[in-house]
Structure 1
């Protein structure tokens, strides 16, 4: 109950401060709408009202579902590629020397820096969105996996080889289990980076999609809908991160105990 009381208490305090700020008159309701107005916007985009189905003909849950599928597909590609490259770079020095500068260069680029280029190359449909999310998710996993593989104790690998293990056996039975905790941390970071890139990915032709909804509502100064979209992204992100944390505890229960 104590663990639940603190988050709930902070939420109540946040809503109270929000309401006080909204009614203070410091800013207009266009800039800071009260919580009740945002709640009405949530109901509007989640139901059919005045003959309008949700926002732009799509319910909020459908916008979110489409965006989550884009993230799952795009981030999934980036995560798989990051794990593969991380294993290669961690086990082969020449591969690390060849690719690490490029991955670092890619990691420092903000998504908007290359999204326009992706649109030129791939058009305005799903391809640039998926590619941007994949590119955003790739570096964190590659970097964390590389560092984890490089940190595997040599004594373990040498002991496995002394017992007759092949190179593949060493990778499968020693390297991957040792690197898995840090790799899963990289996966969590990658999903967070992909989520933070969502609105950028849906800047062009993003409807339906939660990021596209936020962008479209911002074009018309529809702040309540913008806040609804931001809150939906944040809550779904918390849920996904919690699920990934549970997965991490189930897959690597020894983390922090050895």
Structure 2
């Protein structure tokens, strides 16, 4: 005996996949929000418990008041050290942007060369590993001696921090480019430059974007070191100056400003990656 089931467009079985998709999206949005609420709740409980002095663990309300104070003019005082928070953040982002652009451009170019020419890779790879192993503070003071205390050592430090991840990721991506596709392109008459442009670069782009994201992260992790000298205006300089006076709320405001802006920039890079490399994970 045959059983026929009539499924109309309004049938819940047909509507279920879109409903599941919306539930998945809501879950993805709700989980970070829930973790944020839990974080602030635990922070408030620790702050009011008296385990640590308020100087070391201020409450969220105290940090919020510090944020408002730094972001506005109050009692004749403009922000922190004469600059509003957005001005500090703007200077830091400008330095990070300049350093990342220089470091990533050199790193990607170096990675393409190292991945394509074996003897160049043999010569430069130890130096890249050496530079990548050095903490920024290890050579920042040397940069200050060489370049002074203005913008040059800061941007140079950030560029040196961003260069190795971009170079290493690009080198690995070029080496992993499909050999079969390269040979097929050569068999069809493509020159070495055309093979690199049409086969190697597109296949390397996904990993190169990963290297760029890592490079931005390295630059951000080095920004406080970069702004140790003459870093005001700048969030790193703000954090360093406030720490000299045990001004923990201002330090936390600076840390949150760096972290949140870093999250936004990483999200922007991921969006650019999705548009620029739509074939990632599909081939």
Q: Deviations over 1:187-222 (max 9, x none)?
A: 000000000000000011100000100000000100
Structure number, greater radius of gyration: 2
Listed as ranges, the matches of 1:6-17 within 5 Å are 6-17=31-42
Q: Does 1:180 align with 2:188?
A: no
Match of 1:143 in 2: 168
Is there any run of 5+ residues in structure 2 with no aligned partner, and where?
A: 1-25
Q: Deviations over 1:134-178 (max 9, x none)?
A: 000000000000000011121111111111111111111011001
Q: Does 1:90 align with 2:115?
A: yes
Listed as ranges, the matches of 1:144-183 within 5 Å are 144-183=169-208
Listed as ranges, the matches of 1:66-145 within 5 Å are 66-145=91-170
Match of 2:27 in 1: 2
CA positional deviation for 1:87: 0.3
Match of 1:222 in 2: 247
When the two structures are superposed, what TM-score results if normalisation uses the length of structure 1? 0.99
- Corresponding residue SS for 1:227: helix
Match of 1:202 in 2: 227
Query: 1-side partners of 2:236 and 2:217: how far apart?
Result: 15
- After TM superposition, what 4+ stretches of structure 1 lie above 6 angstroms from structure 2? none
Is there any run of 5+ residues in structure 1 with no aligned partner, and where?
A: none
Q: Of 218, 236, 242, which residue of structure 2 is paired with 1:211?
A: 236
Query: 1-side partners of 2:31 and 2:265: how far apart?
Result: 21
- Corresponding residue SS for 1:215: helix
Listed as ranges, the matches of 1:13-24 within 5 Å are 13-24=38-49
Query: 2-side partners of 1:16 and 1:143: how far apart?
Result: 41
Query: 2-side partners of 1:105 and 1:210: how far apart?
Result: 29
- Corresponding residue SS for 1:10: helix
Q: Deviations over 1:9-50 (max 9, x none)?
A: 111111111111011111111000000000000000000011
CA positional deviation for 1:123: 0.4
- Corresponding residue SS for 1:206: coil
Name the stretch that deviates more: 240-249 or 152-161. 152-161
Q: Of 38, 42, 46, which residue of structure 1 is paired with 2:63?
A: 38
- Corresponding residue SS for 1:130: helix
Query: 1-side partners of 2:173 and 2:27: how far apart?
Result: 36
Query: 2-side partners of 1:33 and 1:235: how far apart?
Result: 19
Query: 2-side partners of 1:128 and 1:19: how far apart?
Result: 39
Query: 2-side partners of 1:17 and 1:157: how far apart?
Result: 55
